[in-house]
Structure 1
Amino acid sequence: MKDAGIDVDKLAIVRELAERGSITAVAAATYRTPSAVSQTIKALERDLGTVLVEREGRGVRLTEAGRLLAEGAVEIAQVVARTRARLEEFRGEVAGEVAVTAFPSGAEMLLAPLAPRLATRAPGVTVRLSDLDLAEYELRAATADHDVVVGHSVVAVPDPAATGLPVTPLLREPLDVAVPQDHRLAGRDRVRPEDLVGERWIGVPVGHPFDLLLPMLAVDGQSPRVEQRFLDNHVTAAFVAAGQGVALLPRLWRRAAEARGVTLLPLDGVRAGRHVFALARPDRAERAAVRCVLDALLEIADEAR
C-alpha cells in the first residue's frame, strides 16, 4: 500500500529499527536477512529521496527524517488497529492471539486465571503466556515481542508520557517480612525495622526493584545484612523456612508462603510495596483482543487485591 510515495510495509521496518536499535535485531524479529532489511530501507530512501539511516560505529542509527517516519509508522499502525477493532466489535467477532508476559510471581497471580476467564468471556481470544523477570528499564523493549508486558516497580507506575506507551495500572501490593513459623517474631501482628536489627536477610540480585527497599529498613544507619540473593520467591521462601534468614515477599503470596512454613508480617514505619502494571505498544493496545485481555487482568487484579 502506498500513499504519497510512502510504502507502509517499508515504513514498518523503519519503526522496528527505531524500537530494536539494530539491523540484525530487526531481521530476527521480521524473519528477514540483515541484507534484506538494509535493502528495504535503501528502497524507501530512494522512494522518498532522503537519507533515513546513518553509520554509527559498527551499527546504524536513524536520521532525523528516519525518526520522523518511525513516529508516523506508529500513528498509522494505531489507526489501522483501531479501525480493525471497531469492525470486529461491530460484527461481534473479537478474536486473535495475544502474547502476554509477566514477572514470575505476577504470572502466578495474574496469568494463571487469565485463559479460563477469557474462554467464557471472549472465546475467540487466545493467549500465549510466558514469564520474564526483567529490570524496569527492560520492560519497554519487551513490548516489541509481546502484546502485553506485566511489570512491577517499587517506585511508581511508569508515566505514559515518559515511556511513550499506554500504561494500565493493575494494583499496588504491599511487601511483608517473611520469617520462619517458629521465629521469635512469628506471633506478632506487625513488625518495625528496629525489631529486625541483627537479622540475616535473603535478598534479591543487586539492581532488582526489591533491592531498593532494604536500605529503607536501616536503623541507626545500619542497613540490613544480605547473606544470599535469589530471584525466585519459592527459593527465597525455602531459605527462610530453613532458618537461614528473613526476607521481603509480596503480600498476595501469603498463602504459598504459609504452605512452605513461612509467616508474612506487615511492616510498620516503612511504606514497602510494589506497583504492578501492564504495558503495550500503542497500536497493539488498540486491538480489541488486547483490550479484552487488559480488562480481564484488571478484574483478576481487583479480586486478588
Structure 2
Amino acid sequence: MDVRHLMLLRDFAERGSVHAVAAATHRTPSAVSQQLKVAAREFGAVLVEPSGRGLRLTEAGRLLAAGATEVAAAIAQVEAHWDEFRAAPVGTVSMAMLPSAATFLLPAVLADVQAAGIELRCHDVDVAELEFAALVADHDVVLAHSLTADAPAGTRGLAGVHLVREPLDIALPEGHRLAGQTALEPSELVDEDWIGVPTGFPFDAVLQGIERRTGRTLTVRQRLKDNRLIEALVAAGHGIAVLPRFTTPTGRGLVLRPLRQVPTGRHVFAVMRRDKAERRAVRRVLQSLVRAAAAAA
C-alpha cells in the first residue's frame, strides 16, 4: 500500500477537485488524474467517479482517504519521537495568522522559536470564521478566532488549542457624547452610525447582539476588514465600531469603552490537522503561542 496514494486521496477529499489538488501540490491536472488511476489499480477498486463536470470519491475512495489521516498522524508521531530522541525540534513550521491576533502574539513567538532553531513562515489571512478550517490543508498552524469559547465553526475533527480571550470594546471618537462614560449600554448605541466588519466575522456578532437586546436595527455605513482603517474612520468621526482591546491604540482621537448586557470578546485558537499537531516543531510553536497569550491577557 503506497502511502503517497493515500495522501493523494486525502488531498482530493479535502480540496474537492483534481484542479485544486494539482494547484496545491504543484502538479498538472493530468498528472493528478494519472496518479488517481495508478492508485485505483494498486487498490483494485474504483476510487473516483464522475460528478457533474468533475469527479468525486467513491465509498472506497472515502474509506481510504479517512485512513490516510490516521496514517499521516502515525507518521508524524514517529517523526516527533525521532526529534525527541535527537533532542532537536527542528524544521519549518508554516502558520496562517489572523493579523489582529498575530499583532500581540507573533513578536514574542518569533523571537522564541528562532532561538530554538525553528523557521516559522508566517502568512497573514483575514477570513470569515467558517473559512479558517480550510487553511489547515496548506499550513501547519492556523491562528483563528471565534466569538465563543468553543472551537471556531467548521473546525470539528481538527486539533485545537484555546490561547486567549480578548475583550471587544466599542470604539468612539474622543469628542463623542458617550466618550466620558466608563461603560456603555446597548440602548445608548442604537442611533449611531457604525463602521462594521463583513458578515460572518466574529465582531459582527456584537452588533447582532445589540440588535437582539434592543429590538432595533443598527445603521452600518461601511463594512471593512482592516482594523487600522476602521480606527482612522472612527477617530475622524465617521461612525463608531467594535474593536479588539489588546491591539487598538487609544489617545490619538479614539477611545475604547466596554459594553454591558451583550456578550463581547473573541477567543483566539490555534487550529491544526491532527497529524501536523504531532510534529515536535509544531508543538514547540504551540508552547510559545500559549506563553505569549498568557503574557498578553
TM-score under structure 1 length normalisation? 0.93
The reply to whether residue 273 of structure 1 matches residue 244 of structure 2 is: no
Question: What secondary structure does 2:246 align onto?
Answer: helix
Letter in 1 for 2:288: A
Offset of 1:296 from its aligned partner? Answer: 0.6
The reply to whether residue 253 of structure 1 matches residue 247 of structure 2 is: yes
- The change in CA–CA distance for 1:27 and 1:162 in structure 2 (over 3 A counts) is closer
Partner in structure 2 of residue 296 of structure 1: 288
Q: Residues 177-223 of structure 1, C-alpha deviation per residue, up to 9 Å, x if partnerless? A: 00011212212111111222321111112332222221211364212
- The change in CA–CA distance for 1:261 and 1:159 in structure 2 (over 3 A counts) is closer
Offset of 1:41 from its aligned partner? Answer: 1.2
Q: Residues 106-156 of structure 1, C-alpha deviation per residue, up to 9 Å, x if partnerless? A: 121222322112133x2x211001110111221111111111111111144
The reply to whether residue 77 of structure 1 matches residue 69 of structure 2 is: no
Question: In the aligned structure 2, how far is the partner of 1:229 from the partner of 1:49?
Answer: 53
- Greater shift, 232-241 or 155-164, is seen at 155-164
Question: In the aligned structure 1, how far is the partner of 2:10 from the partner of 2:164?
Answer: 32
- The change in CA–CA distance for 1:135 and 1:220 in structure 2 (over 3 A counts) is closer
**Structure 1: 5+ residue stretches without partners:** 1-5
The reply to whether residue 61 of structure 1 matches residue 26 of structure 2 is: no
Do the aligned residues in 1 keep the contact of 2:197 with 2:224 (CA within 8 Å)? yes
Q: Residues 67-122 of structure 1, C-alpha deviation per residue, up to 9 Å, x if partnerless? A: 111111111111111111111112112100101111120121222322112133x2
Question: In the aligned structure 1, how far is the partner of 2:4 from the partner of 2:41?
Answer: 15
Q: Residues 247-289 of structure 1, C-alpha deviation per residue, up to 9 Å, x if partnerless? A: 11011124x2x15421110111112121110111111110000
Match of 1:223 among 199, 217, 220: 217
The count of aligned residue pairs is 296
Do the aligned residues in 1 keep the contact of 2:166 with 2:245 (CA within 8 Å)? yes
Q: Which runs of 4+ in 1 moved over 3 A?
A: 159-162
Partner in structure 2 of residue 10 of structure 1: 5
Partner in structure 2 of residue 3 of structure 1: none
Correspondence 1:238-249 to 2 at 5 A: 238-249=232-243
Do the aligned residues in 2 keep the contact of 1:178 with 1:247 (CA within 8 Å)? yes
Letter in 2 for 1:26: V
Do the aligned residues in 2 keep the contact of 1:199 with 1:224 (CA within 8 Å)? yes
Question: In the aligned structure 2, how far is the partner of 1:260 from the partner of 1:160?
Answer: 35
Do the aligned residues in 2 keep the contact of 1:111 with 1:129 (CA within 8 Å)? no
Root-mean-square deviation (CA), in Å?
1.7
Do the aligned residues in 1 keep the contact of 2:145 with 2:268 (CA within 8 Å)? yes
- The change in CA–CA distance for 1:160 and 1:271 in structure 2 (over 3 A counts) is closer
The reply to whether residue 200 of structure 1 matches residue 167 of structure 2 is: no
TM-score under structure 2 length normalisation? 0.95
The reply to whether residue 190 of structure 1 matches residue 183 of structure 2 is: yes
Question: In the aligned structure 2, how far is the partner of 1:243 from the partner of 1:112?
Answer: 32
- The change in CA–CA distance for 1:159 and 1:269 in structure 2 (over 3 A counts) is closer
- The change in CA–CA distance for 1:294 and 1:42 in structure 2 (over 3 A counts) is same
Question: What secondary structure does 2:70 align onto?
Answer: helix
Question: In the aligned structure 2, how far is the partner of 1:60 from the partner of 1:75?
Answer: 24
The reply to whether residue 178 of structure 1 matches residue 162 of structure 2 is: no
Question: In the aligned structure 2, how far is the partner of 1:76 from the partner of 1:229?
Answer: 43
Letter in 2 for 1:301: A
Letter in 2 for 1:293: V
**Structure 2: 5+ residue stretches without partners:** none
Do the aligned residues in 1 keep the contact of 2:103 with 2:247 (CA within 8 Å)? no
Question: What secondary structure does 2:92 align onto?
Answer: strand
